[in-house]
């Protein structure tokens, strides 16, 4: 039985009324397991229940050990809470008619909603994924890289540093740090840390974040504001504050009755709430707002030029990408990066204004006469796989590779070989004749014992 603070229970009674006891019972039930498939990579889950509001979302009948699934490491899917996949409806209903979108996921780590946005935004789009806490960007970088898209930049900046980018973004997603009431049945620490005082502190911090980034949103731009908490202070009251202070407009999302999403706790605000006794997922609340008025586009008023060297002698790298005409190639300390030409200026601005950790595709490193392909290139959906010899392996060998064991792979071609499992790339090995070197990133290797699991 989940022990919850009495004052929290009373507050939920005030919100839910007669539904409260069904809600309380649901908190003691097993949490659903869901994931979202990567539409750019091969995935196969047979006859699983779908998440109704997400085209690529599915439920699993029970939790599995994802660490021991090579498809997980290949970026073929992301394990994500089902309720939060509702972001898809906001993006599809308000962004799909646009041709080019510059978007920001402000509080992005570990990357669930970022990878979702990369699957949803129109093709000619750029996504900036940011987290202010440096330690959290390691997992963010890993998840973004495995997803395989090149139209993304990863930054590590405080929200206030975005305030100078006047009118830069068409879309900003703020999945705000919150009191976590919606995660109580998954996270006992959230229960221990909860208090009315902490709710108020979270609400104040959220307002500071929203105020910091508001100027970076274009006129008529879209703000998606969401939390994984139930209280009114961190949700509708903050939305009302945005409306009163900045003239924001609350927007409506079309839903289906069978989704059983609770809507419009207050008549003037279109708010979408997920409760575990009604929807198959955890607690979640989402609001969509548009910006009325504001400054003109930053990048139209201030153009920057890339400071790094434009690489004119790297034609050999072009053949490694399936559509090289999309990219410009630059070098930085012998590291070769491919930058989408369409967003070269925007990436310049981001690099100059923010603490930018990564952008485009890091294709590899020049070492003397050798070009060492990067793990990012292996994971990229733009990799031209026909340019590399390939080794297709079974699950046992894949787990050994991901464990970074010294395994002799059966390959005839000397040099760099692409290791694949179930039609998805896992990384590189280098065949030097007498042995093969496993080039999987050491910091990402599986630490779990794989001996007893490899043949399952």
CA distance 407 to 401: 7
**Which residue shows structure tokens 């980034």?**
213
Domains and CATH numbers, the chain: 84-290 (3.40.50.150), 308-387 (no CATH), 390-456 (2.30.130.60)
Alpha-carbon torsion 164, 165, 170, 171, what sign? Answer: negative
The pLDDT of residue 274 is 98
3-state DSSP percent of the chain in helix, strand and coil, to 5:
35, 25, 40
Q: Give the per-residue pLDDT at 435.
A: 86
Q: What is the pTM of this model?
A: 0.94
CA geometry: angle at 274 spanning 273 and 275, to 5°? Answer: 120
**Which segments in the chain show pLDDT lower than 70?**
1, 294-313, 452-456
Q: Note the pLDDT of residue 304.
A: 44
Active-site residue identified among 228, 285, 356, 411:
228
Q: What is the pLDDT of residue 297?
A: 60
Q: Which of 286, 352, 362, 350 is nearest to 321 (CA)?
A: 362
Instruction: Return the structure tokens found at 363.
Output: 């294709």
Phi (first) and psi of residue 451, to 5 degrees: -60, -45
List Cβ neighbours of 449 (8 Å cut-off, separation of 6 or more).
none
> To which residue do tokens 């019972």 refer?
25
Is 107 marked active-site?
A: no
State the pLDDT at residue 340. 95
Burial bucket for residue 65 (CB in 10 Å: 0-12, 13-18, 19+): exposed
59, β-bridge pairs: 34
Residue reference for tokens 């009163």? 244
């Amino acid at each position: 039985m989940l022990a919850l603070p009495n004052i929290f229970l009373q507050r939920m009674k005030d919100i839910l009324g007669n539904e409260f006891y069904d809600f309380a019972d649901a908190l003691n039930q097993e949490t659903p397991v869901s994931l979202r498939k990567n539409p750019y990579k091969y995935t196969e889950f047979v006859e699983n229940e779908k998440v109704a509001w997400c085209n690529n979302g599915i439920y699993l009948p029970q939790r599995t050990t994802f660490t021991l699934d090579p498809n997980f490491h290949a970026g073929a899917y992301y394990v994500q809470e089902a309720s939060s996949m509702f972001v898809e409806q906001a993006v599809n209903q308000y962004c799909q008619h646009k041709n080019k979108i510059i978007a920001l996921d402000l509080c992005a780590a570990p990357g669930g909603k970022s990878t979702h946005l990369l699957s949803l935004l129109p093709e000619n789009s750029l996504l900036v994924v940011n987290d202010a806490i440096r330690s959290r960007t390691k997992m963010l970088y890993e998840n973004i890289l495995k997803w395989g898209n090149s139209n993304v930049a990863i930054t590590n900046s405080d929200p206030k540093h975005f305030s100078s980018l006047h009118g830069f973004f068409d879309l900003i997603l703020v999945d705000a740090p919150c009191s976590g009431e919606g995660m109580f049945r998954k996270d006992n620490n959230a229960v221990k840390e909860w208090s009315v005082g902490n709710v108020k502190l979270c609400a104040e911090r959220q307002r500071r974040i929203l105020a910091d980034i508001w100027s970076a949103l274009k006129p008529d731009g879209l703000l998606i504001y969401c939390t994984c908490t139930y209280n009114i202070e961190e949700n509708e009251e903050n939305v009302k504050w945005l409306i009163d202070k900045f003239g924001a407009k609350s927007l409506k999302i079309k839903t289906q009755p069978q989704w059983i999403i609770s809507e419009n706790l207050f008549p003037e605000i279109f708010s979408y709430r997920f409760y575990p006794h009604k929807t198959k997922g955890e607690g979640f609340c989402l609001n969509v707002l548009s910006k009325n008025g504001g400054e003109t586009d930053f990048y139209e008023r201030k153009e920057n030029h890339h400071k790094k060297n434009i690489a004119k002698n790297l034609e050999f790298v072009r053949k490694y990408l399936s559509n090289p005409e999309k990219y410009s190639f630059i070098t930085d300390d012998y590291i070769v990066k491919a930058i989408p030409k369409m967003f070269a200026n925007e990436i310049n601005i981001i690099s100059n204004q923010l603490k930018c950790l990564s952008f485009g595709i890091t294709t590899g490193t020049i070492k003397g006469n050798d070009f060492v392909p990067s793990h990012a290139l292996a994971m990229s959906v733009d990799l031209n796989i026909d340019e590399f010899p390939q080794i297709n392996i079974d699950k046992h060998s894949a787990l050994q590779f991901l464990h970074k064991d010294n395994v002799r792979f059966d390959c005839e071609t000397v040099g760099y070989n692409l290791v694949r499992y179930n039609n998805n790339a896992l990384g590189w090995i280098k065949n030097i004749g007498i042995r093969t070197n496993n080039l999987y990133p050491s910091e990402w290797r599986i630490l779990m014992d794989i001996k007893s699991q490899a043949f399952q």
